[in-house]
Chains A and B, each alone.
Chain A
Amino acid sequence: GAGVSQSPSNKVTEKGKDVELRCDPISGHTALYWYRQSLGQGLEFLIYFQGNSAPDKSGLPSDRFSAERTGGSVSTLTIQRTQQEDSAVYLCASSLAAGVANFGPGTRLTVT
């Protein structure tokens, strides 16, 4: 079946602009995660959603970052007033309740 999809694949934006990154999880997966991967670094946890529970936002680096998941499916990660240090690959993953995370191809964000 279809895997996790993310859009756009690449995004270039000017410093100070807002961006929205989209994630379409695998159908039926109740858990959805966002991670950030900076150049040469590992994956940094940002946020996860699990069913109807309150999301774990403990990894969001600042209040410029927010995420929502509508209808238990699609998720949008929003970064307001982008800064150059926000440049990274943003990875989304989904899983069944206790299953293994399946990752999407990521969105490469470049802030100029």
Chain B
Amino acid sequence: AQTVTQSQPEMSVQEAETVTLSCTYDTSESDYYLFWYKQPPSRQMILVIRQEAYKQQNATENRFSVNFQKAAKSFSLKISDSQLGDAAMYFCAYRPSGTYKYIFGTGTRLKVLA
């Protein structure tokens, strides 16, 4: 079965510091997509970053970057220069190529301390 695991229910980071959120997944597929979504208290899920499995280069989006280790089935999110507005639930998600079904992890609540 395809599963996504986020082993950190909650993380804290000081403002301006760097934090890394972990995500592992289990699949027998070779072609797929990985995503990190952010869900603030407003409930609106916002895409943070995505990675195509066939690309070796790690995706980056401003202060957000990923460490994609395909062999290890690991997809961690690094947030640099953390800001108060980064406080939210972060969900890791997986979607096999050719399908539209996303599989989500249980989320990591990130707290940013002033």
- The reply to whether A105 and B103 contact each other, CB–CB distance below 8 Å, is no
User: From residue B12, how far is it (CB to closest CB) to chain A in Å?
Assistant: 18
Binary flags per residue of B36-72, CB closer than 8 Å to A gives 1, else 0: 0100001111110010000000000000000000000
Q: Pick out which of these stretches binds chain A: B14-22, B77-85, B104-112.
A: B104-112
- The reply to whether A45 and B106 contact each other, CB–CB distance below 8 Å, is no
- The reply to whether A42 and B91 contact each other, CB–CB distance below 8 Å, is yes
- The reply to whether A105 and B42 contact each other, CB–CB distance below 8 Å, is yes
Q: Confirm or deny: A100 has a beta carbon within 8 angstroms of a beta carbon on chain B.
A: yes
Interface size on A, residues (CB 8 A): 23
Residue of A nearest to B103 (CB): A45
Binary flags per residue of B81-114, CB closer than 8 Å to A gives 1, else 0: 0000000000101000000111111110000000
- The reply to whether B100 and A48 contact each other, CB–CB distance below 8 Å, is yes
- The reply to whether B50 and A100 contact each other, CB–CB distance below 8 Å, is yes
User: From residue A112, how far is it (CB to closest CB) to chain B in Å?
Assistant: 21
- The reply to whether A103 and B44 contact each other, CB–CB distance below 8 Å, is yes
Q: Confirm or deny: A111 has a beta carbon within 8 angstroms of a beta carbon on chain B.
A: no
- The reply to whether A50 and B100 contact each other, CB–CB distance below 8 Å, is yes
Instruction: Provide a sorted-by-A list of 28 A–B residue pairs whose CB atoms are within 8 angstroms.
Output: A31-B100, A35-B102, A41-B106, A42-B6, A42-B91, A42-B104, A42-B106, A42-B107, A43-B102, A45-B101, A45-B102, A45-B103, A48-B100, A48-B101, A56-B101, A91-B43, A91-B45, A95-B100, A100-B50, A101-B102, A103-B37, A103-B44, A103-B45, A104-B44, A105-B42, A105-B44, A106-B43, A108-B43
Sample of 19 further A-B pairs with CB below 8 A, known A59-B101, A89-B43, A95-B100: A31-B100, A35-B102, A35-B104, A42-B4, A42-B107, A43-B93, A43-B102, A45-B103, A48-B100, A91-B45, A93-B45, A100-B47, A100-B50, A101-B102, A102-B47, A103-B46, A104-B44, A106-B43, A106-B44
A residues near B, CB below 8 A? 31, 33, 35, 41-43, 45, 48, 50, 56, 59, 89, 91, 93, 95, 100-106, 108
